[in-house]
């Protein structure tokens, strides 16, 4: 008989829930969780310049008091690309030689399925009778992340929900399941700089004002090191991701040049201090008569870190006992929905190896899904046995 987490994962993969299309994937989860005693609430958020998103909040309160654990995850997936490039249909959830294939197999329908499978196991054993377990599941992590986890948690907070600790089921392991968990993430800031000069004939530069030399000096200024890293974070890095003049002609000096950049910043900075530093560097560049305009693009994702002690240390203890290795505490990688949760309680990302996420032929060993689900069950039982923070 298939492990419940594996069967559930197959059902989830077969729903092509490419952001923000829900495709029935939350129906599958609600049908799985409701018989286990979870009160499920479906919430649809929209507005703020983004598309409508369907979300699920599920809570099971035990008969005895205890701590409150939040599990967060997403059911949306990135597009599969050209399905002809896949060895197996990306929404078939086919299993070949012990490996399940499909979009979302690692990122991160496997994490959601593993946690839900753990809940079934604990419910059958009477392991959910103390404390509270909640799930916050969104279908908008891979794209805008505007009408998903952020608003779901705001809704829960308005109802008086508080959490002692949270796990996000994103892939966090490197080479072997459980060798790493993520206790923080760098922040992210994107910007656009426009340098405006005067268009003219390349043979008569005295009649024009080329913005390109100024743009080159701006790039040089931006690339000066921002910091040397901190105890838990690698150095902040700024990357210019685009330079465009919109000029197809070889003999025309362009009127303007636009630079796009992204900064991944550590806890040396806040969004405000980093913006001030960028402005200061721009102000120090000789403009040569050109106009320089800077604008922030999109919201700033905050940098966060969860204290390595307390619940984080306890999770590491349980992982070491379960898996034979103690996970490293990591903060590498891009942003995740953990940045929203960090405003409410300590949070970690704890999941499978993410080697094939977002790739053609995304896949996951079935045994890893089972192993993750069994770990979640063991950890939740240990967590609910602790006193509330």
Question: 33 φ, ψ to 5°?
Answer: -80, -35
Rounded-to-integer distance, Cα 73 and Cα 77, Å:
12
Is 358 annotated to bind a ligand? Reply is: yes
> To which residue do tokens 């009477």 refer?
126
Q: Are strands 256-265 and 237-244 parallel, antiparallel or unpaired?
A: antiparallel
Exposed (0-12), middle (13-18) or buried (19+): which is 156, by Cβ within 10 Å?
buried
Which residues, at least 6 apart from 249, have a Cβ–Cβ distance to it below 8 Å? none
Please list the active-site residues.
76, 141
Is 107 annotated to bind a ligand? Reply is: yes
Assess contact for 201 and 209: CB atoms under 8 A.
no
* Beta-bridge mates of residue 294: 193
Binding residues for Zn(2+): 74, 107, 142, 170, 358
Binding residues: 74, 107, 142, 170, 358
């Amino acid at each position: 008989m298939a492990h419940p987490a594996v069967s559930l994962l197959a059902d989830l993969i077969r729903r092509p829930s490419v952001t923000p299309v829900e495709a029935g994937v939350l129906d599958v989860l609600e049908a799985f969780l409701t018989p286990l005693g979870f009160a499920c609430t479906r919430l649809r958020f929209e507005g703020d310049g983004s598309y409508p998103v369907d979300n699920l909040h599920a809570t099971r309160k035990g008969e005895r008091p205890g701590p409150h654990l939040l599990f967060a995850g997403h059911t949306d997936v990135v597009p599969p690309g050209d399905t002809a490039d896949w060895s197996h249909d990306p929404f078939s959830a086919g299993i070949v030689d012990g490996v399940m294939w499909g979009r979302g197999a690692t990122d991160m329908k496997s994490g959601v399925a593993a946690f839900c499978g753990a809940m079934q196991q604990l419910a059958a054993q009477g392991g959910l009778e103390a404390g509270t377990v909640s799930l916050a599941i969104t279908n908008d992590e891979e794209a805008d992340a505007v009408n998903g986890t952020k608003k779901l948690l705001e809704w829960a907070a308005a109802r008086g929900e508080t959490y002692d600790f949270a796990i996000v089921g994103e892939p966090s392991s490197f080479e072997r399941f459980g060798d790493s968990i993520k206790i923080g993430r760098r922040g992210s800031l994107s910007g656009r700089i426009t340098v405006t000069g005067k268009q003219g004939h390349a043979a008569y530069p005295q009649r024009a004002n080329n913005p390109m030399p100024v743009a080159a000096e701006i790039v040089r200024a931006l690339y000066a090191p921002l910091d040397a890293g901190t105890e838990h974070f690698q150095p902040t890095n700024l990357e210019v991701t685009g330079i465009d003049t919109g000029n197809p002609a070889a003999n025309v000096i362009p009127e303007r040049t636009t630079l796009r950049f992204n900064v991944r910043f550590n806890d040396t900075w806040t969004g405000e201090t980093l913006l001030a530093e960028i402005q200061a560097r721009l102000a120090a560049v000789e403009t040569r008569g050109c106009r320089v305009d800077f604008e922030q693009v999109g919201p700033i994702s905050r940098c966060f870190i969860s204290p390595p002690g307390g619940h984080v240390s306890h999770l590491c203890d349980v992982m070491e006992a379960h898996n034979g290795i103690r996970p490293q505490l990591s903060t590498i990688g891009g942003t995740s929905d953990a940045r929203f949760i960090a405003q409410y309680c300590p949070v970690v990302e704890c999941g499978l190896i993410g080697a094939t996420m977002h790739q053609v032929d995304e896949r996951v060993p079935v045994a890893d899904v089972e192993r993750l689900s069994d770990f979640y069950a063991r950890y939740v039982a240990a967590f609910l046995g602790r006193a509330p923070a």
